[in-house]
Structure 1
């Protein structure tokens, strides 16, 4: 193997252990389970410095790039935090400036066209009124996935325009520009519009020069993936003409053998269309497309099966029967990494600022997304890291050539290349050339270089570089050459990076399958202690052709560029190959580089160079108007609950005993009466608020006069106050017990709701439904009271306090969306104690369950049910033709004999033995069907019912008492020619038959439909729910009687809860609660309290003083009701 190497180090200094949240993390010891660490503690551990990513949060698909025609800045966009899109600008492809402070989105969902989500889109730089115009997918319904039926109208294409340089895109006040998928096409998806211009299309379609086109990605169910092409119809971009599926492939088919370009799959996504030549972008050049494919092997599981690949293709564009068509001539992977996906690019003209600085021609620049948690399927410790995913380095795309290639079977295979010319056994091949953008690469490798001595590797082993980097940020360039004998050998050669005695990442070329492999089996020690850190290998195929060099035939040299950016590893080879992945090394010593050689065969090397530098890929410091950043550094945004370690000593709030005070800390006349407590406990706070206001006007005084808040009693042992505050429990307890007794005794309302008029029944039923709803409200209020007491206890008696975001959970728990909201999971994640966190989560979830099922349970027990209910069904076919089974003319033979001719309907319906045979000739067939189902082994009786247009044969199974009448074969319109099959075989009979009869076989021709709805056992669940609540409520009341009831000190707490709803009302440091959670800025606050013991033990009172220390970073707030609160500091 011949080897020459250059290493450019981007940044110096190791990732050392650091202090976070008061917890010391050592990178010189084995890692713990990372999910046990504090929030944000891993922010810098694996964060890259040379890649674009937002300050925090989750980055998604890159999209919506464009060059600003007025400034020449290149705009790079991405989906952000699952809600809208954010972006940055760059003038050199090395430093980036946030469009909005903190990475805020420039477009958000929630409009008329996009109530659910904003998906990918693209920008016309000079669109409506000459302004940047965004065409994007507006989403109205989820889920959307190729494995399930598509809901029409769920995806539309809408317009938005920017008036402020791309900082905000304002949606047009109109319907979608492209309102629906093509007519009568059963699509698998229809999204990610990409706008482009193409001279070839203008010529073929006789369009005006520089017409805009858009391609929308998707597919057709049971047919295959497609790109849907549209053309601009008017200068205002309001209407788009559908030009058809300009490219379509068979479902899950492949290009060639599939080895070089993966699978076309079932659905296309994120398609880009552009034209290239050897220099870069050319509107008249060869047409290329990059696209994502969604596919799966059998069996396909709805909403589960989903493999993805990021591919490219080049091809010819022709006109066929008046429709424009794209036909691939070569195809390949844009990136072989399993986490690399959703590429999006845009033309970067020579007139842009970046191109003018580097003297570059028109180019097409593309970015890929490297998902940090494998599309959300890995349980990665995201909370501890506080960011997820990254964009890969920008790449320049152009038409590449491979010269002097020997004409043999290797070069003639249909792969990611195409034969352009042939001369005397020598070929010139074309392919897609992709390299890291010149500006980015120049910045990365601008440091001084260090030369490694040449090496000759002739046996398996590894050699450590003499000058290994001092950090985990560098670029390694290397040239490896192999003898001709390596072609058929098991030789593997390459490098180990991020290497130490404990972990290493191998990158090598393997001839046996012509692949570059990134071996991650030992990349991260953390993967052995923490789920969600993948250690599977990455690989991609790269053919090294036989070429003629210096008149001799030899194997093409392997030219490698390896970018190591902390945890991101990008491997680029021969200007036509890329594979990118994560290598999350843990130990600070994992920085070595080694040459590796495995297998048999001689390996030669030439001079190797390493480049070492302290130069960093710089981030421009932010400003409040328009902060800038590159991928070098990012501010650490503290989130979660503030611990004492984060707080200056003067601000630490502890539970400390206060000095003894006068026994009469709170004047008796200022304490609430039991009646006032009762009124407020039942929800009529307006009365007591008014009373408080009037009282304050009369006394002209405040409890915190002279700047000191008077002390308040925390608990008071008064059974009257306990009963008053617990009244909210009594109504649901009594009602639950009453309903339970009535239902268990089988009380039958019956005739009370059987009035002569329909209105009588309706009013009665409606009354019970209203009563059930009131019952639900009473139970929810009761549960809310219990949960509020728990939160009060956690806040007032726990030294560590509670995250601010949990204060409103006593009210939010009854909304199901609360349980998948950041408000719950981000704030509970800030609690350092795992047992405490688990207890609180269990309480919230249990409370939410009771609140959710309280209504249905009450209604089920109150509203009288009927004993009839729908059942499941199955279809099967009878033997015989239509005329023999269902004769058009009934005669003696048809109806069962002469005795049946004079039989009346009543006689037949009586089911007597004499008339049981008065049925159509298929009676014997049905009987045989029963025998085939082995019903003859059970005690059964057959009943025949004959109505005017319906005849039914029922088999009653006597030893299944709860499922009588479940075997039924029936047919509507039996007298007419429409009845050709029977239906209504009860599902539960089929289900219980194998159990009861010891293996009754169910014919495969039976097709189940709906399950039989049974209400027999649902009462017990409803009763259990109501009784569970009653027991908890009674226990809560008894607990209050034992410990004392909350007194005036808790009145202040009720206003503190307002902070959990909208913090902006109280101070300017927090925008609002939910945004603060996502941004990680709001819930580092806590409310501290100081408790003292009162001297008056005879009264059983403990005194408390609320010190409402919110530990604000900036700004102060003042609580609304001064009489109760005092100041917030």
Structure 2
């Protein structure tokens, strides 16, 4: 079994040990460096007393890692862990420097009969005056020692901080910073806690109100908000004159799938802000899923007009003995750009009315908008040779390397029954990526990926449809394979990430469709190592 697990070479991964949430991504214009932190246990393949690892890059692809944690749980207020947080490219009073805000944990959770009983969590700051080489915890820590007074919360962690001009307009203010802290209020539901933050004194966080979702309905197309939110980020996206506010988040405690014990989901919610008395609420216009698979704990930042998202790709399906032997657990998905996708002249989806597809908003003009997501363009710089190319169909078979990117474009008709791309193929194993047009579903079927009974191989699936404008748009897929990692993108508005454990010699790619369809393009590119250090 040991030869079925390989270390990714072009995905972001810690030098060793366990890693989970991406933390505090950002860019320092003074040095030209991207910064990315992550929750890290360098001494074990298991989660344990989380610290922050740190890496820098000039291109979002090749990262230089600090060999030891840069922020460790070594004070009374964070002795149980340095959890997720955010980045600000200035000092805490606006001076030159860098600041990160993190969740400090000083007591482990006490589990009563009520779910999601939390430990003692607050917010703390750390600063750097040397471009991020060394970090010092602020003398005022914890700057926010607990949740708002009088609230019985299910969680209170994962700060996100940024300017929010739409919130300024709604409140009648200018130039403020806004902080979101994720969690929930018991017997009310999941929510985020909104704070006003003084840009001239980042130790001053003033609580404004919760942002709740009392009328949120998940449906088939939306993400389950569960009981408690984590890692919520806000961003403002625009397409021409259309502007929408978007929250991307993670949720705990939703409806289980595949026998899960404690579920995690990856929803997004889109809408506009409006004043409601002394509070500002969000009027939801659409909702969906950031990633339908195993990507979680998102963190975003804006750089030169692009909103870049990182997520943790969980690694929970191998037995512990294998994880211990290889000495590492977890990585991040490829960086993605989030944008407002806009479509004119839409008549309907393949099998559904647009009004029934919850991730779409139809405007009075007839235009349809949704959250767009695509791999960052920089990833093309890791392409090596194009090792295979084909057109036509209905059956194609290609040779491929273990680390690859696949571009697939298929002309779909109303007679198309299914489109299937099989990866990690040999004579005995394969994994299938199947688009079913009439069911409006993409599935990643892993049951034949290996013959090991102790590896979970459940099917991953997500809702996806094509638009009639009035002709059916082509199916356009980008698939990244990097050792065990599989990430599927479709038409710049769907993503599903997962793990596939197959023998290393299983590298073939096969294509097949049923019904009337035509392959316009099927290309396999070798992907080069990112040479992280």
**TM over 0.5, shorter chain:** yes
Cα 1:484–1:419, aligned 2, differ >3 Å: closer, same or farther?
A: same
1:140 aligned counterpart, secondary structure: strand
Where do 1:841-856 residues align within 5 Å?
none
Deviation of residue 618 (structure 1)? 3.6
Higher strand share: 2
The match for 1:310 is: 266
The match for 1:594 is: 510
Task: Give 2:38's match in structure 1, choosing from 42, 65, 78.
Answer: 78
Deviations 1:1079-1099 (A, max 9, x none): xxxxxxxxxxxxxxxxxxxxx
The match for 1:124 is: 88
Q: Which has the larger radius of gyration?
A: 1
Residue 447 (str. 1) matches residue 397 (str. 2)? no
Structure 2 Cα separation of the partners of residues 293 and 451 of structure 1 = 40
Task: Give 2:298's match in structure 1, choosing from 328, 335, 343.
Answer: 343
Deviations 1:428-468 (A, max 9, x none): 2101111100111x12435346432422x3xxxx5423xx1
Structure 2 Cα separation of the partners of residues 234 and 510 of structure 1 = 50
The match for 1:664 is: none
1:106 aligned counterpart, secondary structure: coil
Structure 1 Cα separation of the partners of residues 111 and 406 of structure 2 = 40
Cα 1:378–1:587, aligned 2, differ >3 Å: closer, same or farther?
A: closer
Residue 323 (str. 1) matches residue 279 (str. 2)? yes
Structure 2 Cα separation of the partners of residues 177 and 345 of structure 1 = 23
Give the unaligned 5+ runs of structure 1. 1-30, 35-41, 299-303, 351-361, 550-554, 620-627, 630-1129
Residue 286 (str. 1) matches residue 244 (str. 2)? yes
Task: Give 1:389's match in structure 2, choosing from 306, 319, 330.
Answer: 330
Structure 2 Cα separation of the partners of residues 557 and 263 of structure 1 = 29
Q: Which stretches of structure 1, 4 residues or longer, exceed 6 Å deviation after superposition?
A: 144-147, 149-153
Deviation of residue 242 (structure 1)? 0.6
Deviation of residue 414 (structure 1)? 4.5
> Do the aligned residues in 2 keep the contact of 1:94 with 1:617 (CA within 8 Å)?
no
Greater mean alpha carbon deviation, residues 145-154 or residues 107-116? 145-154
Deviations 1:983-1019 (A, max 9, x none): xxxxxxxxxxxxxxxxxxxxxxxxxxxxxxxxxxxxx
The match for 2:523 is: 610
1:476 aligned counterpart, secondary structure: strand
Residue 438 (str. 1) matches residue 394 (str. 2)? no
The match for 2:45 is: none
> Do the aligned residues in 1 keep the contact of 2:390 with 2:396 (CA within 8 Å)?
no
Residue 184 (str. 1) matches residue 150 (str. 2)? yes
> Do the aligned residues in 2 keep the contact of 1:227 with 1:248 (CA within 8 Å)?
no
Deviation of residue 380 (structure 1)? 5.9
Give the TM-score taking structure 2 as reference length.
0.91
> Do the aligned residues in 2 keep the contact of 1:373 with 1:380 (CA within 8 Å)?
no
Structure 2 Cα separation of the partners of residues 463 and 536 of structure 1 = 26
> Do the aligned residues in 1 keep the contact of 2:383 with 2:528 (CA within 8 Å)?
no
Deviations 1:64-83 (A, max 9, x none): 11111311211111101142
The match for 2:29 is: 69
Cα 1:243–1:321, aligned 2, differ >3 Å: closer, same or farther?
A: same
Give the TM-score taking structure 1 as reference length.
0.44
Residue 231 (str. 1) matches residue 189 (str. 2)? no
Structure 2 Cα separation of the partners of residues 149 and 492 of structure 1 = 41
Structure 2 Cα separation of the partners of residues 207 and 575 of structure 1 = 35
1:113 aligned counterpart, secondary structure: helix
Residue 165 (str. 1) matches residue 131 (str. 2)? yes
Residue 562 (str. 1) matches residue 505 (str. 2)? no
Residue 516 (str. 1) matches residue 472 (str. 2)? no
Deviations 1:357-385 (A, max 9, x none): xxxxx2110111111125xx964621111
The match for 1:861 is: none
Structure 2 Cα separation of the partners of residues 111 and 510 of structure 1 = 53
> Do the aligned residues in 1 keep the contact of 2:402 with 2:504 (CA within 8 Å)?
no
Task: Give 2:7's match in structure 1, choosing from 16, 24, 47.
Answer: 47
The match for 2:54 is: 87
Structure 1 Cα separation of the partners of residues 111 and 91 of structure 2 = 31
Deviation of residue 345 (structure 1)? 1.0
Residue 214 (str. 1) matches residue 144 (str. 2)? no
Deviation of residue 222 (structure 1)? 1.5
> Do the aligned residues in 1 keep the contact of 2:348 with 2:467 (CA within 8 Å)?
no
The match for 1:635 is: none
Residue 420 (str. 1) matches residue 363 (str. 2)? yes
The match for 2:315 is: 372
Which protein, 1 or 2, shows the higher relative CO under an 8 Å CA cutoff with sep ≥ 6? Answer: 2
Structure 2 Cα separation of the partners of residues 213 and 69 of structure 1 = 21
Deviations 1:464-522 (A, max 9, x none): 23xx11x2111111112222234xxxx22221111011110111101342111111001
